[in-house]
Amino acid sequence: MLSPPVGLPLLGSELARVQPVGAGRLLHRAHPGVEPAGRGAQGVRFEWADALNLPYDDGRFDAVTVGFGVRNLADLDRGLAEMSRVLKPGGRLVVLEITQPTRPPLSLFFSLWFDRIVPLLGAFSSNPEAYRYLPESVRNFPSPLGLAQKLEAAGLERIRYTILAGGIIAIHSAVKESAA
């Protein structure tokens, strides 16, 4: 999601509030019983676009955020470069994504879950490919440090990341380099 210059709160239930699709589901998780208010926050326009080829001018946005999305891009470097391109100098990018835990006990559970149980569940599904894709996409995704290096290569700086949920989720925050 791209935040226009009007300025928006990011992520969580506030992000859910402005999402036309899935807002109910996300809000329900955050605040059971609360319904999405209206069709979106004022000043927010919804547009579909290819994340690898964003139809926006350079330096247009104050902030860009993506939750559980960059792992699925066919070309991660290009997606990061596009998000960086549309940010204003000094603008912030925040990326929320699944990552692989490296320390036991969660690393052991993660391996058991993704290598054994998820493919097994797929055998009972009408779409077993989806159950192979998820573990593969997580395994092929860079480590938190690797993603930080890619963000730097995309022209971002002041990169920080936080590992959450016992090591299975990472939030990266980075700032677009200011013009020299």
For ligand SAM, the binding residues (CB under 6 A) are 22, 50-52, 67-69, 72-73
Q: Least CB distance from residue 78 to ligand SAM, whole Å?
A: 9
* Closest-approach residue to ligand SAM (CB): 51
Q: Considering beta carbons, is residue 142 or 177 the nearer one to ligand SAM?
A: 142
Token couple for 22? 């899935």
The backbone torsions φ and ψ at residue 151, rounded to the nearest 5 degrees and listed phi first, read: -65, -40
CB of 52 to ligand SAM, least distance (A): 5
76-86 vs 144-153: helix crossing angle, rounded to 10: 50
Residue 171 phi, psi dihedral angles, 5° rounding: -115, 120
Phi first, then psi: give them for residue 24, nearest 5 degrees. -60, -45
Q: Please, which residue, 48 or 180, has the CB nearer to ligand SAM?
A: 48
Q: How far is the CB of 180 from ligand SAM (least distance, A)?
A: 30
